[in-house]
Amino acid sequence: MGAAIWGVVPAAGIGTRMQADRPKQYLRLAGKTVIQHSIERLLSLECVEGVVVSIAADDPWWPTLEWSDASKIAVVEGGAERSDSVLHALDWLAGNEQVTDSWVLVHDAARPCLSQQDLLALIDGVKADPVGGILAAPVADTLKQAGTDQTIVATVDRSTLWRALTPQMFRLGMLRDALQQSHIAGDPVTDDAQAIERLGHAPQLIEGSASNLKITHPGDLVVAEEILRGLEP
């Protein structure tokens, strides 16, 4: 596809909903930590040059991890918000690799169940697109809009609604500019595609598996372990 591909993994979050003694990305899952699975899923493709990980400044868990090829992993200090951590990684890439026209795959540290099939589908689906795109899953549940007293005020049409997943794949320069503009405007974003949308672009939706879950609650670890058993190495 010409341009290089890099992974970016923001991992400076705490994840308080897990009620654990450490951030959720460092919980054990099928013999490794969650973040090891997430990063290794990206590095399973030879076309991915490497991964830049943003961690908290005082992170005591990262140094304890072992990697089969640590030379492909760079570490930068994360920020207060997810978007800050992504931007710090993009700044490192732009400054150290001079690859502003490269693609970046931004992937959640707590999504260990990314399949190689979905990752390839994303790359193949957007490699010729001028903007990029994201993995996403069509909403399957009936959606209700709630009032202030938690009563139903409407049933929402789900026919055009999708759940955003990761990775999200964009050109490094475009995404960096989008996040910088968002920060200058003081207008926070909850995912990378939102920043791109605010520049007036329309990212593609590439359908991915709903099994690409984000570890959020304790029970998710049990589900994730079952999913990982069925994924290719």
Neighbours of 96 (CB within 10 A): 11
Here the tokens at position 116 are: 């190689």
6-60 pLDDT tens trace: 999 999 987 667 767 899 999 999 999 999 999 999 999 999 999 999 999 999 9
- Roughly how many angstroms between the first and final C-alpha of the chain, as a whole number? 24
Here the tokens at position 173 are: 């320069």
Here the tokens at position 145 are: 């809009």
Here the tokens at position 209 are: 């598996």
Pairing verdict, β 143-146 and 103-106? unpaired
pLDDT for 2: 67
Q: How many domains does the chain have?
A: 1
Neighbours of 220 (CB within 10 A): 21
Task: Domain of residue 133: give its range.
Answer: 5-229
In CATH, what number is assigned to the domain containing residue 170?
3.90.550.10
pLDDT for 13: 85
Enumerate residue ranges in the chain where pLDDT < 70. 1-2, 15-16, 19, 97-100, 232-233
107-119 pLDDT tens trace: 999 999 999 999 9
Nearest-angstrom CA–CA distance, 223 and 220:
5
